[in-house]
Amino acid sequence: MYADDPVAAHRSRVAAWYARIPYAGAMSERRGGRPVWAEIDLDALAHNVALLIAHARPARLWAVVKANAYGHGAVMCARTAVEAGAAGLAVVCVDEAEELRAGGIDAPILLVGQADMSECERIVGLGLTPTVCSMQMMLALSRLASGRGVTQRVHVELESGLNRNGLPLDALVELAEGARRLPGIEIEGLYTHLAAAEEGDTGFTQRQRDALEEAHRRLAWIPSKHIAASASLLLSPSMRFDAVRAGLALYGYHPVPGADPNVGLRRVITLKTRVTRLLDVAAGETVGYGRTWEARRPSKIALLMCGYADGFRRSLSNRAQVLVRGQRAPIAGRIAMDMCMADVTDVPNVAVDDEAVIMGTQGGETVDADELAELAGTISWEILAGVSARVPRFYIRGGSAIARTTLNERLPVPLAADVAASR
């Protein structure tokens, strides 16, 4: 019936692909597109938040959801973190915070990046807590907050060795004391950012801690001080202070290579695609751009709809493995922008439409961001954050997909399973 309508044929084929996903009732609502998607396990995220809160206690936990929650989907992850007990959220810029507010999240949001003067009105209007490093911005926020009859909370950052956004001690004290009595301004927090906690440089990390202690001694009237991120939270109880800023660990990854695997974190994201074509390749034939992979034997090659524009880095060409039918299959040839190929010669009974896991677990095998990062010569943060906006996210709770986000639907769209559960 679709012989004269290739677009309708494509949409029908894609609908069939998505209908085969385990969460069929919700996933079948997916409109036509490429068969690549991410599944975000909100139960795992909530577990991680609760675990980190227990590690942080009595300090409060700020859940870091910048960079689209490290590629996991900012609004749903932020909502889950707050529901699981996070005291607040942290992002880098006003745009990221505005997305959370548009998603109905009213929790405190700390801006850990430097906002521009032109964004002061949005900061006050959205009820954000910026990091402020200039008197000019303090004065602008004071004027706007006073005009609205509200209190604008701010944090100040000490430069203690990262040499990035903060102020040296004397300049920081001068700024804080000068802004202390401005109308409408409340300096709520004082913090610094560790430079080498993930590298195990305990001596330098201790010097940064001492620097924050000295800053707080001179600014003892500021009620909260914080320094710990994921690594220092899990490894150094003395770093907890009044609040901690947890990022990578929220999503199931330990920031320190070789750390205790029994800490209890659960991976949150799985990146999946489907086998869309199988090709028989004769010995001596090549596959992909640049002809970088040559068949040493008659081989079966699976075409997968996931490429470097989706977050599967080109540097993983001929190095990474994917999971098909619970077995590892090596990438064959260069990863292209929109697709890649895998050698499934040794995987029995592979068929078109089979699910392939780019990052995650299938059967008894796992390919995680740590493995991909090591192969690519980078860090797991970059692998996770690199899952692009065009990859649909399906948010899983209790084994069912309850919402999705897509490139055209940035705010979560409830799915049928969620609607049925709410009746």
Residues 6+ apart with CB under 8 A from 193: 112, 157, 160, 162, 164, 165, 166, 227, 229
For residue 32, what are its two tokens?
């036509």
CATH (one of 3.90.950.10, 3.40.1260.10, 3.40.50.300, 3.20.20.10) for 42-255: 3.20.20.10
User: What are the extents of the domains in the chain?
Assistant: 6-40+267-414, 42-255
CATH code given to domain 6-40+267-414? 2.40.37.10
Question: How far is residue 40's CA from residue 404's CA, in Å, rounded to a whole number?
Answer: 10
Tokens 């690549």 map to which residue? 36
> Active-site residue among 2, 18, 289, 395?
289
In the prediction, which pLDDT does 387 show?
97
In the prediction, which pLDDT does 238 show?
85
In the prediction, which pLDDT does 157 show?
97
Question: How far is residue 243's CA from residue 253's CA, in Å, rounded to a whole number?
Answer: 20
Q: Which of 405, 373, 391, 406 is nearest to 306 (CA)?
A: 391
In the prediction, which pLDDT does 259 show?
59
Check residue 284 and report its DSSP letter: T
pLDDT lower than 50: segments of the chain: 1-3, 7, 10, 17-18, 21-31, 417-423
191: annotated active-site residue: no
**In which element (H, E) is residue 197 found?**
none
In the prediction, which pLDDT does 24 show?
40
Q: Quick count: other Cβ atoms within 10 Å of Cβ 246?
A: 28
In the prediction, which pLDDT does 12 show?
60
In the prediction, which pLDDT does 202 show?
81
pLDDT digits (tens, 9 = 90+) for 321-337: 999 999 999 999 999 99
For residue 254, what are its two tokens?
């330990």
Q: What is the bridge-based pairing of β-strands 393-397 and 152-158?
A: unpaired
Tokens 């560790």 map to which residue? 194
In the prediction, which pLDDT does 16 show?
57
In the prediction, which pLDDT does 421 show?
36
Q: Which of 409, 381, 345, 311 is nearest to 76 (CA)?
A: 409
In the prediction, which pLDDT does 257 show?
61
In the prediction, which pLDDT does 22 show?
47
One-character DSSP codes across 348-412: TT--TT-EEEEEEEETTEEE-HHHHHHHHTS-HHHHHHTS-TTS-EEEEETTEEEEEEETTEEEE
For residue 230, what are its two tokens?
């994921």
> Active-site residue among 18, 23, 66, 300?
66
In the prediction, which pLDDT does 236 show?
82
Q: Quick count: other Cβ atoms within 10 Å of Cβ 172?
A: 22
Question: How far is residue 56's CA from residue 40's CA, in Å, rounded to a whole number?
Answer: 24
66: annotated active-site residue: yes
- On the question of a cis peptide bond just before residue 35, with omega within 30 degrees of 0, the verdict is no
For residue 279, what are its two tokens?
């090709």
Q: Which residues pair with 64 in a beta bridge?
A: 90
Question: How far is residue 413's CA from residue 395's CA, in Å, rounded to a whole number?
Answer: 10
**Residue at 130: amino acid letter:** P
Question: How far is residue 137's CA from residue 182's CA, in Å, rounded to a whole number?
Answer: 12
Residues 6+ apart with CB under 8 A from 237: none
Q: What is the bridge-based pairing of β-strands 393-397 and 36-41?
A: parallel
Contact 158, 191 (CB under 8 A): yes
Q: Quick count: other Cβ atoms within 10 Å of Cβ 249?
A: 23
